[in-house]
DNA sequence: TCCGAACGCTTGGATGTCCTAGTATATTGC
DNA sequence: GCAATATACTAGGACATCCAAGCGTTCGGA
């Protein structure tokens, strides 16, 4: 977005919270705000890597999910649940992926309500290439130390579980 | 989005990554994906609390920022830099806040290019009330332990600094 | 058996984010 | 002093997300 700021704006916000009598919740506020900002940075990096492939993160996630499905196909509601996004978001992504020839919609063999999303061979190839790029350029250079990665996985996993994402 | 999944989809993705020969980057991938999902959950909670006030998170952030400015006013480019969003996003937020009577635009006294955003008294009052609600209903019940909060602030702070957010 | 409730997907609308381009004002350099 | 460059904001467009509604299909209890 531009040049680095002279000081960390989130640390400033934390101090402001404390100064206004909200010391009790200043730290969680800062942590949550940091998560929001970190997500924004990571998303920008990911989108940057995917752009040459004509993909966005939302579309890539769907392609990757399908590529791990045994048959290369999944019902739309299943994809919605696994990606944890609203069904209309999946409809949107499938529309565009289908237009790009990366997936096709097909009717469910036994349930007339359900639509299956199926990877085309182009889709499978592109998913592989995009995954390689993301692994090399983003996940392989996350900037997080090994211990920190483990800690994040644990802490955020507990949070997601408590939020009702999964039973496990 | 619905019922909890039987298993953690991110842990599954991590296993898929390992199974396909990407063991080296499977953990960072899982950590990053967890950050994306956690952000989504937190944002939904925040928006839920702000909805009764007629605010979204983007608009709230701008109100809060202004409420901490000595004069209750900031140039748009300053707000854009501090909130770390694109200038057009600030334009968008100000348009809506101004329509709601919470802020007003005024010309900069010495620089004809610059527009100042100024809190109205309604804006200041609403910011206070919304902050109280967020502190009580979100930040005060984040679900993160004290140690984890400190760890998140440190790890994500290092990450943001390395990403060029601030010099400090 | 059959009708109401539940489920699955899509359409339309509101928001937010970013990018690109355009207009106006300031600053800089010759 | 004036032209070239830089800065500040806004308009228009592409995407993504969610919610509310509508339509068709399936399930379940009387």
Interface probe with B: pick from A18, A23, A34, most Cβ of B within 10 Å: A34
Residue-level pLDDT at A3? 81
- φ/ψ region of B69 (left if φ > 0, alpha if ψ in -120 to 50, else beta) reads beta
Beta carbons of A8 and B168 less than 8 angstroms apart: yes
Which uninterrupted H or E stretch holds B107? strand B103-107
Confidence of residue B69 (pLDDT cuts 50, 70, 90): very high
Which chain A residues are Cβ-neighbours of B34 within 8 angstroms?
152-153, 156-157, 160
Residue A80 has pLDDT above 70, yes or no: yes
List the one residue out of B126, B71, B153, B54 whose CA is nearest residue A28.
Answer: B153
With tokens 């916000």, the residue in question is A13
Q: State both tokens at B12.
A: 């599954």
Q: State both tokens at B138.
A: 């979100």
How many angstroms separate the first and last alpha carbons of chain B?
A: 40
Q: What percent of chain A has pLDDT over 70?
A: 99
Amino acid whose CA is nearest the C1' of D11: B88
Residue-level pLDDT at B168? 78
Q: State both tokens at A102.
A: 């990366």
Beta carbons of B116 and B73 less than 8 angstroms apart: yes
What gap in Å lies between CA A130 and CA A47, rounded to an integer?
11
Residue-level pLDDT at B4? 84
For A131-155, the pLDDT digits (tens) are 999 999 999 999 999 999 999 999 9
Q: Is the pTM of this model over 0.85?
A: yes
Burial of A121 (C-beta count, 10 Å sphere; 0-12/13-18/19+): exposed
Q: What is the average pLDDT across B146-153? A: 97
Residue A2 has pLDDT above 80, yes or no: no
What gap in Å lies between CA A14 and CA A19, rounded to an integer?
9
List the one residue out of B141, B62, B135 whose CA is nearest residue A22.
Answer: B135
Beta carbons of A65 and A82 less than 8 angstroms apart: yes
For A83-94, the pLDDT digits (tens) are 999 999 999 999
For B87-117, the pLDDT digits (tens) are 999 999 999 999 999 999 999 999 999 999 9
Q: Rounded to a whole number, what is the distance in Å from the CA of B45 to chain A's nearest CA?
A: 10
Beta carbons of B165 and A41 less than 8 angstroms apart: yes
Q: State both tokens at B110.
A: 């010495």
Confidence of residue B1 (pLDDT cuts 50, 70, 90): low
Interface probe with B: pick from A90, A144, A154, most Cβ of B within 10 Å: A144
Q: What is the average pLDDT across B30-40? A: 98
Q: Rounded to a whole number, what is the distance in Å from the CA of B54 to chain A's nearest CA?
A: 21
What gap in Å lies between CA A8 and CA B67, rounded to an integer?
18
List the one residue out of A139, A43, A72 whose CA is nearest residue B23.
Answer: A139
Residue-level pLDDT at A1? 61
């Amino acid at each position: 977005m531009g040049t680095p700021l002279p000081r960390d704006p989130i640390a400033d916000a934390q101090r402001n919270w404390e100064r206004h009598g909200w010391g009790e919740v200043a730290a969680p506020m800062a942590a949550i705000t940091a998560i929001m900002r970190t997500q924004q940075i990571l998303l920008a990096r990911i989108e940057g890597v995917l752009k040459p492939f004509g993909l966005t993160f939302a579309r890539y996630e769907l392609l990757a999910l399908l590529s791990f499905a045994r048959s290369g196909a999944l019902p739309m509601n299943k994809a919605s649940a696994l990606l944890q996004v609203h069904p209309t978001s999946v409809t949107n992504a499938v529309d565009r992926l289908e237009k790009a020839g990366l997936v096709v919609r097909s009717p469910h063999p036994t349930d007339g309500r359900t639509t299956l999303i199926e990877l085309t061979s182009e889709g499978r190839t592109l998913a592989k290439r995009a995954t390689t790029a993301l692994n090399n350029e983003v996940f392989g250079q996350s900037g997080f130390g090994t211990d920190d990665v483990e800690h994040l996985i644990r802490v955020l996993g507990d949070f997601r579980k408590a939020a009702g994402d999964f039973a496990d």
